[in-house]
Amino acid sequence: MQTKSDCEKYRGKLKNAAVLISPAAVIDLANLPRGFSRLTDEELKALEGMAVQPPRVSTPPVPNPEILKPEERIEFLKSEGVAVVLQCDGGTFGLVRGFSRPGSNNDKWSREKDLNSLPIIAVTPEHYNRMYRILKRDIPVKIEIEVQNRIGENVEKACNVIGEIPGTDLKNEVVMIGAHFDSWHESPGASDNASGCAVALEAARILKAIGVHPRRTIRIALWSGEEQGLHGSREYVLAHFGNPKTRTKPEYEKFSVYFNQDYGAGAYRGINLQGNEFVRRIFGAWMEPFRDLGMTTLTIQSVGSTDHIPFDNNGLPAFQFLQDRVGIGGHSNMDVFDTLVPEDLKKNAVIMAAFAYHAAMSDQRIPRKALK
């Protein structure tokens, strides 16, 4: 059901039905035995050779009033007496990925929308596709569903977790490391992003254990609300540093840099320069002792969708490490401890600690790129 006219094909036919809302899942057979993969030398060279990309100027597409919005689709199914909606995102056996909510992606969360929605259930591809194939042969399928959910009476406030190693002669200036503390509900969130939190905490522990007395204060942040829209880091940046397009705060000029881990639990292979060519030589020198750990690549590319972005958007230097692709990934029932590679995380912690140390001890703060 993609368009409003599609609704007419199903009107009057869906009472008490369980509706398969997604197409059949495409199984990625090539990656079934993969487990995890290291970035190859060729891939790293390609990333290293990237040029700065000019900003793209695009005209937003004109909305097509015929296309169904997600909430309109749910409203139609509900009005027709549908019992439950089943969906399948992704094509890995045994994997349940859940992303749905009653409103569209641009809507704010609403308790009322959740309570008024139909149940939306994520199903593994092997079970979803079996139902799909049987129905394509016009053979009826009967299922039994039991859903136990709880929606709180109140909106609960999330909090960031902050700690620091105080600086000395430049203690009013700040170097930050961190990761996000929240995760999706299907699993413990081992790679997304308990692994990043573990690395940041271990980096801080290493610095304390060797008795570092940094010039600048080293602050560790474990962010909340990242999965809901980078809320924790965005609100922190606005509260402490302000917005250069409106008004900055005194701490804005005292900030040096933020280093983040949130692209899975893979080993660091380099760092994304986020379009900031001024830091290439600096980071290249800091990386040199770790080449034997595979930390070799400086790529100008900018990456998004994690907690360095609110800093970067406000003109503050912030970087996400370039990582191997390890494990099955977040937002699924398989993001569990057993998919992690502890040796990778130990290496990452050492590298993050070194970057934080160098930034804290440098005579100058990390150079900033021009604001967009």
Residue 202 in tokens: 């271990």
Tens of pLDDT along 266-279? 999 999 999 999 99
Residues 6+ apart with CB under 8 A from 173: 167, 215, 216, 217, 254, 255, 256, 365
Radius of gyration of the chain (CA): 24
Indicate the pTM of the whole model: 0.87
Tens of pLDDT along 94-115? 888 876 665 544 456 677 777 8
Give residue 104's pLDDT: 46
C-alpha to C-alpha distance for 209 and 165, rounded to whole angstroms: 12
Question: Do the Cβ atoms of 357 and 213 come closer than 8 Å?
Answer: no
Give residue 100's pLDDT: 64
Question: Do the Cβ atoms of 36 and 266 come closer than 8 Å?
Answer: yes
Which stretches of the chain drop beneath a pLDDT of 50? 104-106
SS (H, E, C) the chain: CCEHHHHHHHCCCCCCCEEECCCCCCCCHHHCCCCCECCCHHHHHHHHCCCCCCCCCCCCCCCCCCECCHHHHHHHHHHCCCCEEEECCCCCCCCCECCCCCCCCCCCCCHHHHHHCCCEEECCHHHHHHHHHHHHCCCCCCCCCCCCCCCCCCCCCCCCEEEEECCCCEEEEEEEEEEECCCCCCCCCHHHHHHHHHHHHHHHHHHHHCCCCCCEEEEEEEECCCCCCCHHHHHHHHHHCEECCCEECHHHHHEEEEEECCCCCCCEEEEECCCCHHHHHHHHHHHHHHHHHCCCEEECCCCCCCCCHHHHHCCCCEEEEEECECCCCCCECCCCHHHCCHHHHHHHHHHHHHHHHHHHHCCCCCCCCCCC
Other Cβ atoms less than 10 A from the Cβ of 133: the count is 12
Give residue 97's pLDDT: 82
Give residue 105's pLDDT: 46
Give residue 273's pLDDT: 97
Q: In terms of C-beta distances under 8 Å and separation of at least 24 residues, what long-range contacts does 114-118 make, across chains too?
A: 114/151, 115/151, 116/78, 117/74, 117/78, 118/74, 118/77, 118/78, 118/82, 118/83, 118/84, 118/85
Give residue 163's pLDDT: 97
Phi-psi region of 209 (alpha: psi -120 to 50; beta: other; left: phi over 0): alpha
Domains in the chain and their CATH numbers?
Answer: 4-29+69-136 (no CATH), 161-361 (3.40.630.10)
Amino acid at 95: L
